[in-house]
Structure 1
Amino acid sequence: MFTIGDFASLGRVSVRMLRHYDSIGLLRPAAVDPHTGYRFYRADQLRRLNRVIALKELGLTLAQVQAIIDDAVDVAELRGMLRLRRAQLEAQVAADTARLAGIEARLRMIETEGRMTSQDVVLKEIPPVRVAELTGVAPSYQTRDIGPVIQPLYPQLFQRLAAADVAPSGPGLAYYQPADGDGEAVVVHAGVTVDADPARAADFAIVDLPAVPAAATIVHQGSMDEVEASMQVLAGWIEENGWRAAGHAREVYLEYCQDEPEKGVTELQIPVVRA
């Protein structure tokens, strides 16, 4: 099972949101430690979470969402509801575009449930890597919060690398860490592999990421707006094979297509240890 923090990261929602869903009975944790009160979730609960988010984005109240989900709305009905809402959103102001993209991504992920397989998950050792990076802070793990923070960091990073005469030696990568304090904020690390001496860093950082003895990995094809589906496959594989998440997940951009994100190829890496 996964801690509430790991489950929030995998589902791209906030911990606060999961606590609220627990309090109203919409999404209960699979287990609660009687001594610490810590919540734990199963990988298969991501399916219910996906439906909750999709229906909530339709503008339904949480009470309505619970009633619909408990009546087991099928994929075809849910697709029809989402498409109707899509037509309404397209007529609204440009600020709603991000929300529409989120609905589309959740819909595609729900439609692929049952057809995706964990056969493509590879357990492997990740060697240490030196990266040049810039960081930013996002309000939460939600895709619509991460995207606006991480996207401008890469152009800035490459401009600064060029000015410092530091050439990338490998692919770009990203990883995320909880910000200090008890809030939902996330530190976003946008980096690229380099061979440079850390002393050459000026207005960027050069850091050494340690080796990972064991990581569950999968190659995600397409836009990162739709990464939740691949994360769900990884979560299921980790739980089914007796592992648990044990560190910060990484995204390695094997093929990065800024103008055509649907052509992107990204390896997702989650450090694991035996449960």
Structure 2
Amino acid sequence: MFTIGDFAQYGRVSARMLRHYDAIGLLRPARTDPVTGYRFYEAAQLARLNRIIALKDLGFSLQQVGAILAEEVSVPELRGMLRLRQAELSAALTAAGARLAQVEARLRTIESEGRMSADDVVVKPTGTVLLAELSGTAASYGPEDIGPVITPLYAELCRLLETAGVTPAGPGLAYYEDAPEPGEGSGRMADEHDSKDAIVVHAGMVITEEALAKAGATPAATAGATTGGTSGLGFTIVTLPGLAAAATVVHHGPMSRILPTAQNLAHWIDDNGYRSAGYARELYLECPPDQEKWVTEIQEPVVRA
């Protein structure tokens, strides 16, 4: 048998907690000395202690824990409950990490206001490109909504290109447009739960007609308009027209921290007699595994104000 101190050490709990469990009938000692009142425990009782702690970690009250143990929860059942709790905690941790990244981005935005040099921005035309792309809808244009949509799109697009034997001829290029109004083209009435801020996310990779021909696909898009057709390979082929004038700036680091760069670009556009003519495009120049080393050119279409 173990003294209460030794048993607490093996169970990684406090002796005070064991006394409380004894008082409420959740875990009685194997023997209590009638003279000294000292509590003694058996090694077999560690199994019950482990279940108590596990159920507490799942969020159950001690009263609920007692009721569950009275039904003799099996090891597979307890394992399943713990795995569910593990998934919930993991999701909460991921969400908290995303919120933290956005707070840090806003802080950098505030700290960097007005620091961008005019030399950082270049106004230039961009060329027409042939893209293989996939698209999806994000709840808003915010990085916190764009990221979870565009990341899996690119992962799937790269997989499809590799499967088809189509080698990209250039970097990734993402562009955006407003999603259709709720109910548009569907014949249904919009309700208050429909989002008016939804954005269509286009995740594209620059390709060539020669590469498509080798893969047995024929581009159905026509230069001069954002049109496209199904490739038969799981992705869409699009001819994306160039921009007559784009205010461009290079962003270094992950896209979750793009906000300071984008807002500094907005300041430059306003200060230099331009106005935005649409959503900015993102040309992913370098995308190594370490996102801190990413290099992205932001291309915002502009016209003279």
- 2:136 alignment partner in structure 1: 136
AA at the equivalent of 2:236: A
Give 1:194 shift.
0.3
Contact 1:173-1:252 at 8 Å conserved across structures = yes
Give 1:124 shift.
0.4
- 2:207 alignment partner in structure 1: 194
- 1:266 alignment partner in structure 2: 296
Matches within 5 A, 1:102-141: 102-141=102-141
Is the aligned partner of 1:217 residue 2:248?
Answer: yes
| Number of residues of Structure 1 aligned to a counterpart in Structure 2 | 183
SS at match of 1:146: helix
Give 1:113 shift.
2.2
The structure having more radius of gyration, on CA atoms, is 2
Structure 1 residues 218, 267: CA separation in 2 closer, same or farther (over 3 Å shift)?
A: same
Contact 2:109-2:263 at 8 Å conserved across structures = no
CA deviations 1:204-243 (Å, max 9, x no partner) are: 0110111211110001111111111111121112112211
- 1:207 alignment partner in structure 2: 238
Contact 1:109-1:226 at 8 Å conserved across structures = no
Quote the sequence identity (%). 54
What's the C-alpha RMSD, in Å, of the aligned pairs?
1.6
2: CA distance, partners of 1:93 / 1:159: 28
- 2:171 alignment partner in structure 1: 171
2: CA distance, partners of 1:110 / 1:260: 25
CA deviations 1:68-124 (Å, max 9, x no partner) are: xxxxxxxxxxxxxxxxxxxxxxxx744311111111111122222243323210010
2: CA distance, partners of 1:123 / 1:144: 28
**TM-score normalised per structure 1:** 0.63
Which structure is higher in strand share? 1
Matches within 5 A, 1:43-192: 93-181=93-181, 183-192=196-205
Gaps of 5+ in 1: 1-91
Structure 1 residues 264, 127: CA separation in 2 closer, same or farther (over 3 Å shift)?
A: same
CA deviations 1:24-48 (Å, max 9, x no partner) are: xxxxxxxxxxxxxxxxxxxxxxxxx
Gaps of 5+ in 2: 1-91, 183-195, 210-217, 221-230
Structure 1 residues 226, 93: CA separation in 2 closer, same or farther (over 3 Å shift)?
A: closer
Structure 1 residues 202, 96: CA separation in 2 closer, same or farther (over 3 Å shift)?
A: same
**TM-score normalised per structure 2:** 0.57
AA at the equivalent of 1:221: H
Contact 1:118-1:233 at 8 Å conserved across structures = no
Runs of 4+, deviation exceeding 3 Å? none
Contact 1:251-1:267 at 8 Å conserved across structures = yes
Structure 1 residues 201, 172: CA separation in 2 closer, same or farther (over 3 Å shift)?
A: farther
Contact 1:118-1:234 at 8 Å conserved across structures = no
Structure 1 residues 93, 254: CA separation in 2 closer, same or farther (over 3 Å shift)?
A: closer
From 256, 274, 279, the counterpart of 1:243: 274
AA at the equivalent of 2:199: V
1: CA distance, partners of 2:257 / 2:94: 20
Structure 1 residues 117, 203: CA separation in 2 closer, same or farther (over 3 Å shift)?
A: same
1: CA distance, partners of 2:252 / 2:95: 27
- 1:233 alignment partner in structure 2: 264
CA deviations 1:181-218 (Å, max 9, x no partner) are: 06111101111100034254521011011121111000
2: CA distance, partners of 1:248 / 1:93: 31
